[in-house]
Amino acid sequence: MTPFDLTPAQKGLLEAVARETGKAIPALLDEALQGLQAQVQLRRENGTATAHATGTRTAGSHDTRPPIWEALIDASLDIPDDELDRLPTDGATQHDHYIYGTPKRPV
């Protein structure tokens, strides 16, 4: 057996994934551990190893996600052109009007 215990939630998750995929639990654990090992190796190569793995807290350890503006740009690429055409052209200068319903300010 293992030198550690799984929580009931972890056991339930493993059983559910095994049923859903038709894979045996040892095979699922092997896949998960190989994926985890690959992530740790990639982070080590990129210099973004986790604080737990290195024993120290790294300055950029939370910078693995793209900046919010890049995420917004990526999300906006899925908006159809006809929807973008319906947006007000004065949205930046009159944002209070469109957000809060205040009267438009003179321009």
The string of pLDDT tens digits covering residues 32-87 is 899 889 888 888 888 765 555 445 444 555 567 888 888 888 888 988 889 989 98
| Residue type present at position 32 | A
Give the mean pLDDT of 90-99: 92
Tokens of 60: 């950029």
How much is the average pLDDT of 13-20?
89
Cα(28)–Cα(18) distance, rounded to whole angstroms? Answer: 7
Is the full-model pTM beyond 0.75?
no
Please give the DSSP secondary-structure letter assigned to residue 90.
T
What does the angle CA 16 – CA 40 – CA 12 come to, to the nearest 5 degrees?
A: 15
Q: Residue 1 above 60 pLDDT?
A: no
pLDDT band at 89 (very low <50, low <70, confident <90, very high): very high
DSSP-H helix ranges across 7-103? 8-21, 25-46, 51-54, 68-76, 81-85, 95-100
Length of the chain counted residue by residue: 107
Q: What pLDDT does residue 57 have? A: 47
Q: How far apart are CA 55 and CA 13, in angstroms?
A: 29
